[in-house]
């Protein structure tokens, strides 16, 4: 809740810190289906905060562990956000425009 409040106040540094704490806490819990969805949520939110701060490499690193998990659960709400992060990473960092188009086409 504190992370969401910091994000709405445009205090992304605080929001990123809270999101990282949430990810760390969730990683320590047993991995049930419900916990896996919470992990997808937490890592995607962290990735979005990092991408908004133009930390595209860190944003991709935040979501890499959950991409396959989100596809497995067919979690459409977060898949769109994940594909956006991956697309912007390939656009700005790698400058691989065909790969960028491949991710953005899925949106």
If you ran DSSP here, which 8-state letter would residue 64 be given? G
Q: What is the pLDDT of residues 17-53, one digit of tens each?
A: 889 999 999 999 998 999 999 999 999 999 999 999 9
**Reported pTM:** 0.86
Please, what is the average pLDDT of the chain?
89
Give 107's pLDDT tier (boundaries 50, 70, 90).
Answer: low
Domain segments of the chain: what residues? Answer: 2-105
Give the Cα separation of 88 and 66 in Å (integer): 17
């Amino acid at each position: 809740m504190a992370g969401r409040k910091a994000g709405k106040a445009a205090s992304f540094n605080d929001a990123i810190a809270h999101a990282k704490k949430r990810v760390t806490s969730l990683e320590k819990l047993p991995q049930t289906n419900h916990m896996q969805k919470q992990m997808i949520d937490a890592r995607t939110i962290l990735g979005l905060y990092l991408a908004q701060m133009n930390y595209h490499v860190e944003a991709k690193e935040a979501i890499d562990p959950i991409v396959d998990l989100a596809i497995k659960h067919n979690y459409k709400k977060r898949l769109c956000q994940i594909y956006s992060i991956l697309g912007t990473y390939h656009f700005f960092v790698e400058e691989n425009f065909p790969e960028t188009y491949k991710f953005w086409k899925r949106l």
